[in-house]
């Protein structure tokens, strides 16, 4: 096994495999969070038809999960109940409501960024799409900034092309989004993040800035390799990068990260911070097939990013 930098992988990884849902081909890139006295998750389930569905799951310990075999139903404004299709969900709690961003293919070309909300993870409401095609990646900040809702996103194009920078934008009402600002892009030179980058879990507020864990991609002669990295963004002006790690936080190393439907992918999408111990549990998709978790102390992550910054 290659060296770990900051995160230590859970020895029981992967914690979720396709067996969790009988119709699944793969379960990966999913969002988990504490809810009431247990944990809840929104899971990306690619079916044996290759339909990209989102399913709810529940857990007592954030490691062992029961995933609903049926996809989430979304209540639309016109009263219609639709199945929740899409991929790479992120969940952010804001003022007591849980907002789910996802990439999806509405009528017309995709992918666009859809937004849904829930308060109980039983009834879900579809909201207006927040970003038009092509966009593959979006996550809300967990509080308003200067009175505005805030989001990181990654404009894209029609395919899995070597293009992808992270942008910041704001909204007064979660419907109208604008004031887009560039945050950062791939490095102009060879590195683990020289092809594209995209935001991971909802940014975490720390004294040192917003901790953003993101994915970075490099292009090798046999294809893309996805790693996880970290940055600290200014608390008041989050489009300003204070620190950004030159070394990765996590790279595809073990068999379950290297072998799967898409090899050599670690794709972080959720983080649970234990406020009492300072431990951060990072949930990430492995090789577009399973879900794993790795742990680090929040302080250590921040120190590592600062010490290894550009």
Q: Which residues bind ligand BMA (CB under 6 A)?
A: 29, 87-88, 136, 160, 226, 262, 265, 267, 285, 288
Parallel, antiparallel or unpaired: strands 73-75 and 124-126: parallel
CB nearer to ligand BMA: pick between 200 and 285:
285
Residues 27 and 20: beta-carbon distance below 8 Å: yes
First to last CA, the chain: 27
CB of 156 to ligand BMA, least distance (A): 8
Residues 151 and 139: beta-carbon distance below 8 Å: yes
CB nearer to ligand BMA: pick between 133 and 285:
285
User: What is the Cα–Cα distance from 127 to 99, expressed in whole angstroms?
Assistant: 10
CB nearer to ligand BMA: pick between 160 and 240:
160
> How many C-beta atoms surround the C-beta of residue 122 within 10 A?
9
Which residues on adjacent β-strands are paired with residue 199? 214
**Token pair for 198:** 């995209």
CB nearer to ligand BMA: pick between 230 and 285:
285
CB of 158 to ligand BMA, least distance (A): 12
User: What is the Cα–Cα distance from 305 to 165, expressed in whole angstroms?
Assistant: 20
CB nearer to ligand BMA: pick between 137 and 170:
137
b/e 125-152 (16+ beta carbons within 10 angstroms → b)? ebbebbbebbbbbbbbbbeeeeebbbbb
b/e 13-22 (16+ beta carbons within 10 angstroms → b)? bbbbbbebbe
| Nearest-CB residue for ligand BMA | 262
Torsion of CA 292, 235, 174, 272, to 10 degrees: 20
CB of 38 to ligand BMA, least distance (A): 27
CB of 160 to ligand BMA, least distance (A): 5
CB nearer to ligand BMA: pick between 225 and 302:
225
CB of 198 to ligand BMA, least distance (A): 8
CB nearer to ligand BMA: pick between 3 and 220:
220
Residues 223 and 257: beta-carbon distance below 8 Å: no
CB of 137 to ligand BMA, least distance (A): 8
Which single residue is written with the structure tokens 């230590």? 8
CB of 29 to ligand BMA, least distance (A): 5
Which residues on adjacent β-strands are paired with residue 226? 217, 265
């Amino acid at each position: 096994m290659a060296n770990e930098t900051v995160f230590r992988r859970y020895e029981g990884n992967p914690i979720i495999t396709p067996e969790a849902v009988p119709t699944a081909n793969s379960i990966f890139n999913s969002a988990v969070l504490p809810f009431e006295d247990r944990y809840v998750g929104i899971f990306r389930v690619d079916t044996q038809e290759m339909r990209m569905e989102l399913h709810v799951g529940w857990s007592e310990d954030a490691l062992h999960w029961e995933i609903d075999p049926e996809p989430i139903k979304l209540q639309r404004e016109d009263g219609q109940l639709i199945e929740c299709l899409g991929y790479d969900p992120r969940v952010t709690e804001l003022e007591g409501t849980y907002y789910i961003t996802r990439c999806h293919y509405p009528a017309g070309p995709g992918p666009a960024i859809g937004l849904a909300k829930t308060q109980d993870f039983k009834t879900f409401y579809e909201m207006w799409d927040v970003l038009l095609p092509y966009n593959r990646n979006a996550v809300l900040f967990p509080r308003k900034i200067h009175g505005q809702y805030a989001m990181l996103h990654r404009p894209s194009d029609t395919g899995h092309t070597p293009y992808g920078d992270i942008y910041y934008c704001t909204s007064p009402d979660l419907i109208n989004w604008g004031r887009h600002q560039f945050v950062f892009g791939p490095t102009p030179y060879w590195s683990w993040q020289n092809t594209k980058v995209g935001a991971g879990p909802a940014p975490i507020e720390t004294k040192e800035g917003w901790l953003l864990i993101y994915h970075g991609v490099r292009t090798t002669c046999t294809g893309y390799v996805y790693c996880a990295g970290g940055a600290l963004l200014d608390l008041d002006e989050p489009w300003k990068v204070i620190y950004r790690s030159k070394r990765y936080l996590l790279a595809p190393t073990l068999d379950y990260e290297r072998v799967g439907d898409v090899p050599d992918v670690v794709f972080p999408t959720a983080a649970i911070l234990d406020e009492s111990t300072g431990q951060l549990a990072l949930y990430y998709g492995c090789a577009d097939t399973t879900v794993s978790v790795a742990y680090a102390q929040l302080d250590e992550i921040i120190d590592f990013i600062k010490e290894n910054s550009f």
